[in-house]
Amino acid sequence: MKKLLILTAALLFAAGSADAKWWIFGKSKAEVGLKYLHINKLSADETGPKVKLFREALGADGLVRITGRTAGGQTGAVRITLDDKATWTDVKFADNGTFEFSFKPEAGKTYAMLIEVTDTAGKTNKPEETRKEITLSEENIQTKVRETLDAMFDAYNREDLRKFLGYVGDNFAADKAILERAVKRDFDALSAINLRYTLNNVAAGAQGRVFVSVTYSRMVMVNKSGQTSTDSGSTEFVFDSKEGKLSLFSMKQPLMFGLSDAENVATGEVAGNTSALVIDESGNLGGGETVTIDCRGSGTVMKYTFATGAQACDTGGGSADIWFYDWANNIGYGGVTQHKSMGKSLATLTSAEVKNLSGYAAAGSVTGISTGLAYCFELSGSFYCVEPVSIPVPGNDLAKFKVKQF
């Protein structure tokens, strides 16, 4: 880790003193120009030729702030035009070439901005290279959020991957490449997708980011089983606002998109949801239902019956399909039940693996259980698997686990 940081620091230091653009592969040296340019803290390199801003993303003063730094020789003058070179305004600059200019835009009007830099030798940059058309949107941010979510949900419902990805930012927190493959797998696994939502909360904030909370309702058909499935709940998104367009920055569980790799796509979880659709590695609905048995103050053994979902608290095993002890890292089982430890998570199990009777052991105890691993049970031809989420300990008699029937 230290080596990496030292290497990075050395690389940045070297880059700072270099005057050749090594990554341009042979492109010419910089002349008079701009080292950087920001429009309301948004790098001009990251925008296209048109920059659309929202009222909510401006400061409370409603100003657009242009900041930058000149590059090349000693700066002699900096001028800016907002009307496509019809009129120019001198901009104050510091000795080191940094400058700032502010203006209050009118909604709906387009400002054709160019910046001209002149050095003390009279040499100028190419202002056309700095041209940006800046517009203050007449839309409010809620309208834009709805427009964006409508388009994303429509693209997902129609299984149009290219259009969907057009609304995902390159800086998507969990990685755009992971989301792209997960959504592609969603489209292979599902059809007749019908997602709907209403907005609960929208908040625009610093760095042009927009927080969105929604209530959703969804129906999908699972191609592998031919069955339909529905769920509803609330979830959250964060969007980046660039060029008047919102692009997805992060999503929380329950996920709307990328159900095939939920663990790697979601960054966080919205409290208060009981279940959410996820797709397992085989392309089927997976993940299982989460069960919590709370025996705090009422027992040291947590019992569960698969077929009925019945729970009980006791001080000893028996009279149920499986039970967790608070004094041992074990799952007890009895009667005609057989068990097999799978060595992998519930989401990665296949029906064939679970129903392969080789390796099942007669009644007793599953010892040394771990979270994240699946343990399967066979009861007279019915197969159930559980994956512990939290294992009870003395003083905290609470068993939480996922359960799925195969």
Chain positions 251 to 280 lying near other proteins, rule: CB under 8 A, are: 263-264, 266-268, 270-272
- Using CB under 8 A, pick the residue from 74, 87, 120, 194 that binds other proteins: 194
- Within 8 A by CB and 6+ apart from 365, the residues are 328, 330, 331, 332, 333
Q: What count of other Cβ atoms lies within 10 Å of the Cβ of residue 180?
A: 16
Q: Dihedrals φ, ψ of 105, to 5°?
A: -80, 155
Site for other proteins in 71-100 (CB under 8 A): 71, 94, 96-98, 100
Report the alpha-carbon distance of residue 175 to residue 172 in Å, rounded.
5
How near is the Cβ of 151 to other proteins at its closest, in Å?
14
Alpha helices in 110-193 (DSSP H): 141-157, 161-165, 176-189
- Within 8 A by CB and 6+ apart from 285, the residues are 222, 225, 229, 277, 278, 279
Report the alpha-carbon distance of residue 102 to residue 92 in Å, rounded.
11
Report the alpha-carbon distance of residue 254 to residue 236 in Å, rounded.
8
How near is the Cβ of 113 to other proteins at its closest, in Å?
19
- Using CB under 8 A, pick the residue from 151, 178, 328, 379 that binds other proteins: 178
Which residue lies nearer to other proteins by CB, 86 or 395?
Answer: 395
Q: Considering only 54-62, 77-85, 298-306, 308-316, which stretch makes contact with other proteins by CB under 8 A?
A: 54-62
Site for other proteins in 197-256 (CB under 8 A): 198-207, 209-211, 213, 215, 217-219, 221, 223-228, 230, 232, 234, 236, 238, 249-250
Site for other proteins in 337-356 (CB under 8 A): 342-345, 348, 350, 352-353
Q: How many residues does this entry show for the chain?
A: 406
Question: Counting contacts by CB under 8 A, is residue 367 touching other proteins?
Answer: no
How near is the Cβ of 62 to other proteins at its closest, in Å?
7
Cβ atoms of 283 and 189 within 8 Å: the answer is yes
Report the alpha-carbon distance of residue 388 to residue 403 in Å, rounded.
9
Which residue lies nearer to other proteins by CB, 21 or 50?
Answer: 21
- Using CB under 8 A, pick the residue from 85, 131, 133, 188 that binds other proteins: 188
Reported as half-sphere exposure (CB side, CA atoms, 13 A), residue 219 has a value of 5
- Using CB under 8 A, pick the residue from 16, 49, 358, 380 that binds other proteins: 16
Q: Among all chains, which residue has been given the structure tokens 């797709």? A: 279
- Both tokens of 4, joined, read 């990496």
Q: Considering only 80-88, 116-124, 186-194, 310-318, which stretch makes contact with other proteins by CB under 8 A?
A: 186-194
- Both tokens of 359, joined, read 């390796």
Cβ atoms of 201 and 212 within 8 Å: the answer is yes
How near is the Cβ of 264 to other proteins at its closest, in Å?
6
Of the candidates 177, 235, 240, the one whose C-alpha atom is nearest the C-alpha of residue 205 is: 240
- Residues 287-316: x where in contact with other proteins by CB under 8 A, - otherwise, as a string: -----x-x-x--------------------
Site for other proteins in 28-47 (CB under 8 A): 30, 33-36, 43, 45
- Residues 141-160: x where in contact with other proteins by CB under 8 A, - otherwise, as a string: -xx-----------------
Which residue lies nearer to other proteins by CB, 110 or 232?
Answer: 232
Counting residues that bind other proteins (by CB under 8 A) gives 116
Q: Among all chains, which residue has been given the structure tokens 């005609």? A: 336
